Amino acid sequence: MPARDDNPPLLGPDRDDDRPAVTVGDRALRRSELWEAAGVVAQRIAGAPAVAVHGDASLETVVSVVGGLLAGVPVVPVPSDSGTSERAHVLADSGAALWLGPPTEGVSLERVEVDPTARGSASAEPDPDATALIMYTSGTTGKPKGVVMSRRAIAADLDALADAWSWTAGDTLVHGLPLFHVHGLVLGTLGALRHGSPLVHTVRPRPEAYAAAGGTLYFGVPTVWSRVADSDSAARGLSGARLLVSGSAGLPDRVAEKLRALSGLSPVERYGMTETLITVAARADAPVHTGWVGTPVAGVESRLRTEHGDPVPHDGVTVGDLQVRGATMFDGYLGLAEATAASWTDDGWFRTGDAAVITGDGRHRIVGRISVDLIKTGGYRVGAGEIEAALLEHPTVRECAVVGEPDDDLGQRIVAYVVGDDVRPADLIAHVAGGLSAHKRPREVRVLESLPRNAMGKVQKTRLGNAPT
């Protein structure tokens, strides 16, 4: 769905509103205050090729991102828990010229001080086709790639979700998700600003904080919903809400059922990727089908193919590779023309890498990833290859294989199988957390005499522990 002719600016029309537009923890800004603080940032960074934003859960992050969008400067959110080598890669690869964040070891970019209480004038919004964000995400191998997202794609997705969920300025949105990924930043922050619904960010996605926030619309990853469902009082505390939305990974049926029993609300699921934004969503006005992620959002089409590219019937049972196309797609991986080309079919569909079934009336169920080397842990996408490369840098590691094993809390838990000398699991976990990021750390390291290999010498991950087959 291309942006409508009467499309409002990405961040929504000017609104005279006395309510706080954004609350993070115990600090809040009204829309006019946010625009004025962001206007100061916009003036300061105007003309930069890109800016890097320390993406912690703070008003400073929101002001920085809005400042970048007002200035028409691509914003590169940097995970707040990133370690030294991952941060260095993101900063160098993105071409960011300025650092909007606290003084940080290893960051030599010129630093811009961001002050939510500063007041300046906001500029007009730029061309809808300009790059809004460059967001880093993992592949099966290699370092994270920069996903280039246009303002137009983001606007189209946010409007499609407003349509699916009847999301209006009358809603108060609550979540506590990281502000450096699509879920928390694009949907959870830019969505709230575009639709004029106040955002209450709980800093961390703790069940009691969700219950105390008194919102109408709640976002969470399945790990968050599982923790809410495990707290009777938190889950019952959501009973006044209008809609609970789950995404970024599959919501287990038992969690959906427990939430329903305690809060009286049936969570709806939606499916997407950093590259495509949210392409499939269950509608607020349709019956809830637990375990299904809904139908394509306005402006998006989907289809199933075999690994050879042949059509797979949409009969609700036959599994195929899910492909999507439409208004919400990314503009490519930054500086990686080959990887970008490889992610599209010859006839213009994006290969999601997910296996799915689709019913005759268009409902989707995600069955799993096509590759065992992309792990989803707590809703974070993590490539096995980048963790293996980090482990191999450690002097005690000779060989290793990383897999995602089923986990009741995280969906998948990162487990590293290691062959080496004097291996100390805690050291290896700290090594990955400090180099890549805390959320990419293995939760467990298992030491082996050798890795299982086939006749060609290739590691057989499916023969490791409880790895998925």
- The count of residues in the chain is 469
Positions 95 through 134 that interact with ligand AMP (CB under 6 A): none
Least CB distance to ligand AMP at residue 273 (A): 4
Question: Using CB under 6 A, which of 112, 249, 259, 451 touches ligand AMP?
Answer: 249
Looking at residue 129, its amino acid is D
Residue among 462, 443, 447 nearest 377 (CA):
443
Positions 351 through 390 that interact with ligand AMP (CB under 6 A): 352-354, 366, 369, 376, 381
The interface partner of residue 293, options being ligand MLC, ligand AMP, none and the CB cut-off 5 to 8 Å by kind, is: ligand AMP
- Rounded to a whole number of angstroms, the distance between the first and last alpha carbons of the chain is 38
Structure token digits, residue 310: 């042949």
Query: Which residue's CB atom is positioned nearest to ligand AMP?
Result: 381
- Report the distance separating Cα 171 and Cα 99, nearest Å: 33
Structure token digits, residue 305: 């193919």
DSSP SS3 for 166: coil
Question: Using CB under 6 A, which of 70, 134, 158, 182 touches ligand AMP?
Answer: 182
Q: Is 253 exposed, middle or buried (0-12, 13-18, 19+ CB in 10 A)?
A: exposed
Question: Does the protein bind ligand AMP through residue 145 (CB under 6 A)?
Answer: no
Least CB distance to ligand MLC at residue 414 (A): 10
The interface partner of residue 441, options being ligand AMP, ligand MLC, none and the CB cut-off 5 to 8 Å by kind, is: ligand MLC
> Could you tell me which residues come within 8 angstroms of residue 469 by beta carbon, excluding any fewer than 6 positions away?
462
Q: Which is nearer to ligand AMP, 376 or 413 (CB)?
A: 376
Using CB under 6 A, list all residues that contact ligand MLC: 81, 177-178, 181-184, 205, 221, 223-224, 247-248, 272-274, 378-381, 429-430, 433, 438-439, 441
From 16-24, 93-101, 268-276, 333-341, span contacting ligand AMP (CB under 6 A): 268-276
Least CB distance to ligand MLC at residue 57 (A): 9
From 167-175, 197-205, 244-252, 309-317, span contacting ligand AMP (CB under 6 A): 244-252
Looking at residue 3, its amino acid is A
The interface partner of residue 366, options being ligand AMP, ligand MLC, none and the CB cut-off 5 to 8 Å by kind, is: ligand AMP
Q: What share of the chain is helix, strand, coil (3-state, %, to 5)?
A: 30, 30, 45
CA dihedral 339, 342, 348, 351 (to 10 degrees): -100
The interface partner of residue 205, options being ligand MLC, ligand AMP, none and the CB cut-off 5 to 8 Å by kind, is: ligand MLC
Residue entry with tokens 């919501």: 251
- Report the distance separating Cα 395 and Cα 108, nearest Å: 28
Does residue 181 contact residue 274 with C-beta atoms inside 8 Å? Answer: yes
Q: Is 218 exposed, middle or buried (0-12, 13-18, 19+ CB in 10 A)?
A: buried
Question: Using CB under 6 A, which of 247, 267, 296, 332 touches ligand AMP?
Answer: 247
Q: Which is nearer to ligand AMP, 228 or 445 (CB)?
A: 228
Looking at residue 163, its amino acid is D
Q: Which is nearer to ligand MLC, 227 or 363 (CB)?
A: 227
Question: Using CB under 6 A, which of 33, 269, 321, 386 touches ligand AMP?
Answer: 269
x/- track of binding to ligand AMP for residues 277-316 (CB under 6 A): ----------------x-----------------------
Residue entry with tokens 């086709």: 129
Q: Which is nearer to ligand AMP, 51 or 366 (CB)?
A: 366
Least CB distance to ligand MLC at residue 273 (A): 6
Half-sphere exposure (CA, 13 Å, Cβ side) for 267? 33
